[in-house]
Chains A and B, each alone.
Chain A
Amino acid sequence: MNERQPPPLLTAATADVLRKHAPFDAMRAADLAHLAAGLKLRYFAKDTVILSPESGRIASLFIIQRGAVQADEPTRVSLNAMAATLTDGECFPIGALIASRPTTLRYRALNDTFCYVLDEPRFREVMARSPEFHAYCTRRLAALLAASTKGTREAYSSRAADELTMASPLRNAIRHSPVTLPETASVRQVLELMKSRRIGSIVLTGEGGRPAGIFTQTDVLNRVALAGQPLDRPVAEVMTRAPATLSAGSALSEAAQLMARRGFRHVLVVDGEDFLGVISERDLFGLQRLSMQGLRKDIGRAETVDALAFAAREVRELGTAMLAQGVAAEQLTQFISALNDGITERAIELALADHDVAGTGFCWMGLGSEGRNEQTLATDQDNAIIFPDGEGDDREATRSRLLAFADQVNRALDACGFPLCKGNIMARNPAWCLTLGEWLARFDDWIRNSDPQALLNASIFFDFRSLHGDATLVDRLRAFLLENVKDRPVFLRQMAANAVQTRPPLGFFGDIVGGDGGTVDLKRQAARVFVDCARILALANGVGAVSTTERLRATGPKVRMSEDEVSTAIDAFQFIQMLRLRAQDSLDRGTGAAEPNRIDPDTLNGLDRRILREALRQARKLQNRIGLDYQL
């Protein structure tokens, strides 16, 4: 009967609407027209649930033409429950559609919303025709992560004026005296005052001049403009009542966590009955850079182990606050590593005052996660000493002096929150306080024999980095390792066999399969897969980089991994690291599981669970590659 081919004008107009957004702006005109010609346009009144897990298998893609859709967790009410707001041009639910399964999230229209609906057959056709659309839909992980860190990065560039840390009291962080109006004022009066004073929020006072509510820039959009409210109405009708309040003595980190956990952007600061002012999210973001610099200075100035331990606690607190604000894992682990390096360095400097070992030409090495710059909040110390070869008695005398010095450093680090290593992989252990020649012999022995103990050692000691002292010793050790390990295929193959032994906990259908009580061991079943595979790739290809990220980046081109594959694997690894940080953080606060690296995927919000699943899939992909390389 009819050709089911819409008039060109209709297709063109629809394509024009779509072209304002990614990925449609990058698609070829013919592919976009093919997509547009297959669309339906649906209307969802405010508060309509568009899709939910009960909707069953997903068979259409929704593209928001105009409006706003909230994606959230339908059942769970948890502190970290995530609610993402999707707006014009955004697509959902891509993952469920590709996998032909029900969605894990609930999608609800926040206001009157029109969505284009693309049915599955045409969706698959367009995926097959358009590489841009295909890339967009399959690069979900990268896209999701980019979306989650975008806000953070933008906020990072803002500034604050004073030198404050996250431990400073709120009283010191208030930037201007409070701007208030009585709650009987009209919306128009409030907007005019906000404009003339160039402020983002106004506190409305009720009886006795006490704060009764707050009205912010966001409210202008949502509650006045979009809601079509006349400006002559009293602001009391649209303000947020009983705004979040903290006392002036509370730490900035408390405000940061309150905002992050409850989704507020402003916190009122009070001193008893007195209202002192407002702290905004923006005020806090600006502080992070400054407080990092402040902390570095504090660490460098610490004259005693006690002072250093205090600074170390602040590092953890700031890390926690940044975590609560959703700072990306890579930035966060780098930040923690950088400050931890500073702490180690300072602990060494303090011990050097008591021990005359500077003349030995020793070098202090960080090993394992510290070597890789991948420390999480709960990290044991792993370290060792390398010093120049000397003659007989002389060498032993040097060693015993170094051991005494190392013992003091190890204890200082313990006091600073880096527990002594249970496996005794520490510089104060005579087995790991060796000359260059001794280290070379050790390494040589491990790669020749490749017994289980050798492989275990290799997984810790081959991730080494100089932290203090003569780095040339470390460079020579690394050169030796890279030169010799590639001629030891048996060793590499054994390492590869170990790396693929623990499979990421994914079921046949790509779902996460929790083990012990439904939990996943993020370290053993996920992070270590990336770490081990990256180490093998690096060693086999003569790459000297130590961090997992850099190892993947440097070896990718040599093993014909595409740039996309590399960056997706890195994103996946960083996401797992971030989940580990979060799990450890909740452990610190007594709300988490007993084991710092175990999480129950069911406690994650839907978006995070989706990303975790995708990250585990990436781990498996990397294992498969190693498995193929070594014919395992």
Chain B
Amino acid sequence: MLSSFWPFLRSRPGLPDGVARRIERWRSLAEYDRDRLPVSGRWVVVDVESSGLDAINDRLIAVGALAVVDGAIDLSDSFEVILHQDVPSHDDNIEIHGIGGTEQAQGLDPREALAAFLAFVGKDPLVAFHAPFDSTMLRRAIERHLGVAFKRPWLDLADIAPLVWPKYASRLSGLDDWLQAFSIPTAFRHRAIADCLVTAQLLVMVLPHAAAIGATSAGSLLGMSGADRWLSPG
């Protein structure tokens, strides 16, 4: 009783009951075992849309997440939420992610949205291309709205893809380069969930090569990612 009550106390006071319960449930989940979790376990590919490119000062507008389990992208194991904004982001920003002012105003209470995100992710490792931006954005938003320290292991494909395909590494830098090189269709990019879909396709191309670059577990693959070294909880 106490053990489940204790983390609740650490959360931000005044949270709606449902949100508080979700946080509690998330905290009580067993931490994933870095060294035993196989590469074929669940990965959650994450992409965020924000009011700008400053991870510290800009606001989180939308979160998309898509799970890869056993090397397959499960379209039904996916998540997308738009966070309510009192003041919509600038027009030129809206052009990037396509989430208009009305949509932003009709978004979900950020506390509900982020609690739902925690429930979706669980304690599974996260994946992004150029992970520091997404991870910082999420960590700050979750701390601010939920009072939860969100220090999670991230796999940064910007680090891993060059290890898998070293001969491309010098020619390819951004996500777009990689997508183009592997003919990953990008018909509807820059919505969070759409970017998750293309990133997930890059991930499932990477995973079969994990053993070839010396990764025997999800943890050792994470260990090769610079993002993980900066952001890992331990």
Residues of A within 8 A of B71 (CB): 42-43
Are B197 and A13 neighbours in the complex by a CB distance under 8 Å? Answer: yes
Contacts A7-B193, A66-B183 hold; do A41 and B75 have CB atoms under 8 A apart? Answer: yes
Residues of A within 8 A of B193 (CB): 7, 9-10
* Chain A CB within 8 A of B1 CB: no
- Which segment, of A32-40, A479-487, A536-544, faces chain B? A32-40
Q: Name the residue on A nearest B181 (C-beta).
A: A228
Which of B78, B182, B187 has a CB less than 8 Å from the CB of A10?
Answer: B78
The B-contacting residues of A in range 428-470, CB under 8 angstroms, are: none
Are B75 and A37 neighbours in the complex by a CB distance under 8 Å? Answer: yes
Q: Name the residue on A nearest B182 (C-beta).
A: A112
* Chain B CB within 8 A of A14 CB: yes
Are A42 and B76 neighbours in the complex by a CB distance under 8 Å? Answer: no
* Chain B CB within 8 A of A117 CB: yes
Residues of A within 8 A of B205 (CB): 43, 45, 112
Q: Report the minimum CB–CB distance from B80 to chain A (whole Å).
A: 4
Q: Name the residue on A nearest B65 (C-beta).
A: A7
Are B194 and A40 neighbours in the complex by a CB distance under 8 Å? Answer: no
Encode contact with B along A10-22: 1 for CB under 8 Å, 0 otherwise. Answer: 1101101100000
Are A39 and B79 neighbours in the complex by a CB distance under 8 Å? Answer: no
Are B78 and A42 neighbours in the complex by a CB distance under 8 Å? Answer: no
A2 to B205, CA, bound (A): 27
* Chain B CB within 8 A of A1 CB: yes
Residues of B within 8 A of A14 (CB): 75
Q: Report the minimum CB–CB distance from A620 to chain B (whole Å).
A: 39
* Chain B CB within 8 A of A114 CB: yes
Prevailing SS type, chain A contact patch: mixed
Which of A13, A38, A112, A114 has a CB less than 8 Å from the CB of B76?
Answer: A38
Interface residue range, chain B:
20 to 34
Q: Report the minimum CB–CB distance from A359 to chain B (whole Å).
A: 77
Q: Report the minimum CB–CB distance from B189 to chain A (whole Å).
A: 10
Are A41 and B80 neighbours in the complex by a CB distance under 8 Å? Answer: no
Are B74 and A9 neighbours in the complex by a CB distance under 8 Å? Answer: no
* Chain A CB within 8 A of B125 CB: no
The A-contacting residues of B in range 43-64, CB under 8 angstroms, are: 64
Are B76 and A9 neighbours in the complex by a CB distance under 8 Å? Answer: no
A5 to B66, CA, bound (A): 12
A104 to B149, CA, bound (A): 54
* Chain A CB within 8 A of B73 CB: yes
* Chain B CB within 8 A of A560 CB: no
Q: Name the residue on A nearest B200 (C-beta).
A: A41
Residues of B within 8 A of A4 (CB): 76-77
A1 to B116, CA, bound (A): 10
A39 to B72, CA, bound (A): 10
The A-contacting residues of B in range 182-197, CB under 8 angstroms, are: 182-183, 185, 187-188, 191, 193-194, 197
The A-contacting residues of B in range 160-218, CB under 8 angstroms, are: 182-183, 185, 187-188, 191, 193-194, 197, 200-201, 204-205, 208
The B-contacting residues of A in range 103-140, CB under 8 angstroms, are: 112, 114, 117
* Chain B CB within 8 A of A6 CB: yes
Contacts A9-B188, A9-B193, A43-B71 hold; do A2 and B80 have CB atoms under 8 A apart? Answer: no
Q: Report the minimum CB–CB distance from A214 to chain B (whole Å).
A: 28
Are A16 and B119 neighbours in the complex by a CB distance under 8 Å? Answer: no
Residues of A within 8 A of B204 (CB): 41-43
Residues of A within 8 A of B208 (CB): 43, 45
Residues of A within 8 A of B80 (CB): 7, 9-10
Are B75 and A10 neighbours in the complex by a CB distance under 8 Å? Answer: yes
Contacts A36-B75, A42-B204 hold; do A7 and B64 have CB atoms under 8 A apart? Answer: yes
Which of B79, B194, B201 has a CB less than 8 Å from the CB of A2?
Answer: B79
A14 to B194, CA, bound (A): 11
Residues of A within 8 A of B200 (CB): 41
Q: Report the minimum CB–CB distance from A46 to chain B (whole Å).
A: 11
Contacts A9-B80, A13-B187, A13-B188 hold; do A114 and B75 have CB atoms under 8 A apart? Answer: no
A11 to B194, CA, bound (A): 11
A11 to B78, CA, bound (A): 11
Centre residue among A6, A17, A37 by max chain B CB count within 10 A: A6
Q: Report the minimum CB–CB distance from B26 to chain A (whole Å).
A: 12
* Chain A CB within 8 A of B133 CB: no
* Chain A CB within 8 A of B120 CB: yes
Q: Report the minimum CB–CB distance from B196 to chain A (whole Å).
A: 9
Are B119 and A39 neighbours in the complex by a CB distance under 8 Å? Answer: no
Contacts A1-B119, A41-B201, A45-B208 hold; do A11 and B182 have CB atoms under 8 A apart? Answer: no
Are A10 and B183 neighbours in the complex by a CB distance under 8 Å? Answer: no
Are A6 and B76 neighbours in the complex by a CB distance under 8 Å? Answer: yes
Q: Name the residue on B nearest A17 (C-beta).
A: B185
Q: Report the minimum CB–CB distance from A504 to chain B (whole Å).
A: 40
Residues of B within 8 A of A5 (CB): 76
Are B119 and A41 neighbours in the complex by a CB distance under 8 Å? Answer: no
The B-contacting residues of A in range 51-88, CB under 8 angstroms, are: 66
Q: Name the residue on B nearest A38 (C-beta).
A: B76
Are A37 and B187 neighbours in the complex by a CB distance under 8 Å? Answer: no
Are A40 and B201 neighbours in the complex by a CB distance under 8 Å? Answer: no
A16 to B188, CA, bound (A): 11
Are A16 and B79 neighbours in the complex by a CB distance under 8 Å? Answer: no
Q: Report the minimum CB–CB distance from A222 to chain B (whole Å).
A: 15
Q: Report the minimum CB–CB distance from B178 to chain A (whole Å).
A: 13
A37 to B76, CA, bound (A): 6
Please give me the 8 A-B residue pairs with the lowest Cβ-Cβ distance, nearest first.
A7-B80, A41-B73, A43-B204, A40-B72, A6-B78, A4-B76, A42-B72, A6-B75
A-B residue pairs in contact (CB < 8 Å), sample of 24: A1-B119, A2-B79, A4-B76, A5-B76, A6-B75, A7-B79, A9-B80, A9-B188, A9-B194, A10-B66, A13-B194, A13-B197, A14-B75, A17-B185, A39-B75, A39-B76, A40-B73, A41-B72, A41-B201, A42-B204, A43-B201, A43-B205, A66-B185, A112-B205
A10-B194, A41-B200, A112-B183 given. 6 additional CB < 8 A pairs?
A: A2-B119, A4-B76, A10-B75, A13-B194, A42-B204, A43-B204
